[in-house]
Amino acid sequence: MVELTAAAVFGVYALASAVVLQLVNTEVRTPYMDEQFHIRQAQWYCAGAFDRWDPKLTTPPGLYIVSLVARTFGACTLDRLRTVNCILGAGLFWTVYALIRRTYNVRSVRAAIEALALCMLPTSFFFAHVYYTDIASLLCVLLAQLLSMHKRHIWAGVVGGAAVWMRQTNVVWVALVGGAAVERWMREHGFVSGGLMQSVGQLVQWMRCPRRWREVMWVVVPYASVVMAFGVFVRMNGGIVLGDKSHHQAGIHVPQLFYFYAFMAVMAAPTVLSEAQRYTHAVTSRQVTLMTLGVSRFTVEHPFLLSDNRHYTFYIWKNLFRSYWWARYLYIPGYVGCIVVVHAALWRTPALWHAMWLVCTAAVLVPSPLLELRYYTVPFFLARLHMPTPPLPRLSIELAIYVVVNAVTIYVFLYRPFTWNSEPDQLQRFMW
């Protein structure tokens, strides 16, 4: 009966997703923005032209290979390819549901409601209805984590490899999944406990014992193989980016971390605020000084951010950060507060996992020069799934916020298009 209730909650998600997909296919009859590159490449693959590659694409062909399933229903049309992503979104729901059940001892219906809330995260839900790589990428990362938690490490490595075929930066999350698997193995064998420094000290001591290396090798190898294979690819390719490298140059963009914490604190506010009182460490002036230095020396304004008024980040940057030269410094106290509440909400996580997540999040976000909120989705999910399940009223508020934001942004995307003077016959639409 409880599982039937979870299925009913999934039915709500599936119905909402199907309605949005139908509306998108009805109102947006041609590939929009980056869809034009992804759709064209997928259609080449569907036609068997595996030797053709669009130089504008920068990510691997994993999504196009998955989309070959559309051939079984006829031509790989725009509608069918978007439907592939919608189906992957359904898979994401059940993966998140299984992770919640595996991580926390909560009732099935409660886990289903939380899975519904998370899958309605606006920067995730929107991209389940257009042909982008985001949903396939997120699904593979979380499925690898789920398999790893069930000690299916070989399969976790295989799915982790598939995640890298969706998006190159997922190799960092594969490393995190592998590191978490090793950390769990060590805790099961009584090695890691307590705070971060104690855990690191025990880890260093443990690494001195060759016998322990042999015992844990079966855990490490599936994930290490993916990372090493990716290293070979980078060496052969001359970098991590495929295709158009000119607009995807890595740099040092320290404030990306601050923007992410602000995004995390706002979008998960009902959850993180309930845990904020657990944070007992004072914020030091040195930390604030370092953050100020990071904003001053390492803020990056990507050309796309300044020129493409189809993205909400264009208006955020224009109105909140560029209005005055000193505006960006006003938000530093807010960043501090967001960092505090997010880390307070992760109080139950092992210290070593917490540190690895932070390092991996920085490794993915700091080199990226472009401020784009969908880049925050994977670290958001990984952190949110490690936070305590909030009480039902707070969870309901979180879900309601997502529903309202989705309703507004999808409505604007569909029914409030505009045109550029340079392309008067081409409708432009607002999106994440």
Question: What confidence tens digit (pLDDT) does each residue in 213-232 have?
Answer: 777 888 999 999 999 999 99
Nearest to 102 by CA among 10, 180, 216, 154: 180
Higher-pLDDT residue of 5, 166:
166
Nearest to 133 by CA among 173, 85, 194: 85
Q: Between the CA of residue 60 and those of 31, 162, 329, what are the distances in Å?
A: 19, 10, 37
DSSP 8-state symbol, 422: T
What is the SS3 assignment for 427?
Answer: strand
Q: Buried b vs exposed e over 267-293: b needs ≥16 C-beta within 10 Å?
A: bbbbbbebbbeebeeeeeeeeeeebee
Enumerate residues 6+ apart whose C-beta is below 8 A from 122.
Answer: 267, 402, 405, 406, 409, 432
At residue 94, the pLDDT reads: 96
**pLDDT, tens digit (0-9, with 9 covering 90-100), for 294-312:** 999 999 998 888 889 999 9
At residue 192, the pLDDT reads: 62
Tokens coding 258: 């601050």
At residue 205, the pLDDT reads: 74
At residue 39, the pLDDT reads: 96
At residue 4, the pLDDT reads: 84
Apex 101 CA angle, 278 and 388, nearest 5: 5
Higher-pLDDT residue of 2, 222:
222
CB 270 within 8 A of CB 395: yes
At residue 279, the pLDDT reads: 61
At residue 75, the pLDDT reads: 83
φ and ψ of 153, to 5 deg: -70, -35
A 10 A CB-CB count for 339 gives: 21
Enumerate residues 6+ apart whose C-beta is below 8 A from 326.
Answer: none
What is the SS3 assignment for 425?
Answer: strand
What pLDDT band is residue 264 in, cutting at 50, 70 and 90? Answer: very high
What pLDDT band is residue 280 in, cutting at 50, 70 and 90? Answer: low
Average pLDDT, the chain: 90
**pLDDT, tens digit (0-9, with 9 covering 90-100), for 3-36:** 788 899 999 999 999 999 999 999 999 999 999 9
Detail the DSSP E strand segments found in 285-428: 418-420, 423-428
CB 85 within 8 A of CB 129: yes
CB 139 within 8 A of CB 88: yes
Q: Is the pLDDT of residue 291 over 70?
A: yes
At residue 278, the pLDDT reads: 64
> What percentage of residues in the chain have a pLDDT greater than 70?
94
Q: DSSP string of 93-151?
A: HHHHHHHHHHHS---HHHHHHHHHHHHT-HHHHGGGTTT-SHHHHHHHHHHHHHHHHTT
Of 32-41, 136-145, 155-164, 338-347, least confident by mean pLDDT is 338-347
At residue 106, the pLDDT reads: 80
φ and ψ of 245, to 5 deg: -85, -15
CB 384 within 8 A of CB 96: no
